[in-house]
């Protein structure tokens, strides 16, 4: 019993050693205001980053279509412009998917935090995963769709080759997106999975 | 809701925030960052707080949920600095102080969910309230806490033996 009490007092003693000096009301108020400003600027910088990613993607699409134009040796300008418009539309679709992902993840980060930890972590994980899945499919479909339209419009490939190319590029786009999502959100998702597992550990 | 109202309710319990920060963040910059983030999240959550639970319970929930999903930077820092940082608060070298330091390091090395449970236990919060904060059942809380304490006691004895 004595050993137990000693352990308990050690535990409380350890915690007490790390007490901090309390802050004044003014200091806390200033801290909140400063943090609000910082959060706003961080949000703006993330938004700029998203826009930049979208612009880079559109840039890549443009380079792709220019390259394709020479590869397929498209003789008519009208045909090229048609393809150019389709690529622009696909680029816009991709931008929309990226922005949807960004806005949705932002909304998720504002989830009500005043709830049981287990519920909070589970809801956060489920909503984030769902958003990433939606993004994955929209961007894969958009990119594959763009390529399909382009290949059909070029009218130079036999049907079985066309189907093969679509299937192959679709798979490539899918795994490219999976890699991108894993690179960007993989660690966060793993941490959330770990937390859920810890909070759902059975009481043996 | 005004800021004055918010501060009136939260300031008497600000120790809660420090406890959470000290357990979940190891480095000075991380601690400051987490401290600010928790205050901000409390301020943003306050309009939705209906006073159906104790202010302290609500603060624990917001602080722990913020800490668990916020800190991700520490892993990249220097390990040597980590040791120095964990010891710098201990001024005396008595045996008890050494044991408390060991215990504190043990708490730090626990799993995230275990840290939350032991923190609430140290604060003398009832099992019912811990269950409300974590979202687990009261029975589960009791069983898990016993398990964590047994593990810590065992580790403490082993560490003492090694030092002797």
Looking at chain A, the whole-number percentage of residues with pLDDT higher than 70 is 81
pLDDT at B4: 86
CB atoms under 10 Å from CB of A78, counted, come to 8
- Decide if A114 and B64 are in contact by the 8 Å CB cutoff: no
CA–CA min distance A17, chain B (Å): 7
pTM over 0.80: no
pLDDT at A179: 95
pLDDT at A17: 67
pLDDT at A71: 60
pLDDT at B86: 46
Sketch out chain B's domains with CATH numbers: 1-82 (1.10.1740.10), 91-164 (1.10.10.10)
pLDDT at A65: 67
Nearest CA in chain B to A120: B65
Rounded average pLDDT over B120-136: 88
Low-confidence ranges of chain A (pLDDT < 70): 1-5, 17-20, 61, 64-65, 67-84, 86-87, 202-204
pLDDT at A132: 92
**Contact residues, chain A, for B123 at CB < 8 Å:** 15
Query: What residues contact B58, with CB distance under 8 A and at least 6 apart?
Result: A114, B45, B49
What's the complex ipTM? 0.78
Dihedral (C-alpha) A82, A85, A86, A91: value to the nearest 10 degrees? Answer: 160
Q: Determine contact: B71 vs chain A, CB below 8 A.
A: no
Interface test with A, best of B7, B35, B100, B138 (most A CBs within 10 A): B100
Q: Extract the tokens encoding B49.
A: 């707080």
B138-161 residue pLDDT tens = 888 899 999 998 888 888 778 777
If contacts are CB pairs under 8 Å, which of residues 7-46 in chain B contact chain A?
Answer: 7, 10-11, 14-15, 18-19, 22, 35-37, 39-41, 43-45
pLDDT at A167: 92
Provide the pLDDT confidence category of residue B96 given band limits of 50, 70 and 90. confident
pLDDT at A72: 60
B21-64 residue pLDDT tens = 888 888 888 888 899 999 999 999 998 888 888 899 999 999 99
Inform me whether the pLDDT recorded for B77 exceeds 80. Answer: no
């Amino acid at each position: 019993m004595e050993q137990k009490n000693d352990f308990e007092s050690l535990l409380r003693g350890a915690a007490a050693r790390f007490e901090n000096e309390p802050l004044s009301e003014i200091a806390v108020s200033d801290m909140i205001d400063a943090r609000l400003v910082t959060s706003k600027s961080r949000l703006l910088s993330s938004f700029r980053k998203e826009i930049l990613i979208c612009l880079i993607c559109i840039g890549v699409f443009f380079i792709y279509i220019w390259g394709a134009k020479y590869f397929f040796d498209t003789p008519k300008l009208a045909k090229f412009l048609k393809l150019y418009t389709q690529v622009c539309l696909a680029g816009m679709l991709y931008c929309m998917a990226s922005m949807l992902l960004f806005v949705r993840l932002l909304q998720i980060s504002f989830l009500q935090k005043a709830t049981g930890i287990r519920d909070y972590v589970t809801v956060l994980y489920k909503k984030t995963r769902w958003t990433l899945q939606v993004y994955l499919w929209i961007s894969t479909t958009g990119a594959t769709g763009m390529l399909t339209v382009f290949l059909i419009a070029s009218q130079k490939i036999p049907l079985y080759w066309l189907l093969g190319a679509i299937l192959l590029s679709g798979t490539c786009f899918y795994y490219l997106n999976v890699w991108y999502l894993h690179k960007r959100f993989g660690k966060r998702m793993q941490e959330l999975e770990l937390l859920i597992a810890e909070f759902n550990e059975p009481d043996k | 809701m005004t800021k004055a109202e918010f501060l009136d309710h939260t300031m008497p319990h600000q120790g809660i925030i420090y406890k959470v920060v000290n357990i979940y963040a190891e480095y000075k910059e991380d601690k400051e960052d987490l401290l600010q983030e928790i205050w901000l999240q409390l301020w943003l959550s306050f309009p939705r707080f209906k006073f159906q639970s104790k202010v302290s319970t609500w603060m624990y929930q917001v602080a722990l949920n913020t800490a668990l999903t916020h800190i991700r930077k520490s892993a990249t820092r220097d390990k040597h600095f980590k040791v120095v940082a964990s010891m710098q608060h201990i001024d005396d070298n008595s045996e008890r102080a050494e044991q408390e330091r060991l215990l504190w390091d043990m708490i730090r090395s626990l799993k995230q969910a275990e840290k939350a449970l032991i923190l609430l236990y140290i604060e003398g919060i009832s099992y019912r309230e811990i269950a409300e904060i974590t979202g687990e059942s009261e029975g589960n809380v009791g069983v898990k806490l016993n398990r964590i304490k047994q593990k810590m006691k065992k580790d403490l004895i082993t560490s003492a033996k090694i030092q002797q």
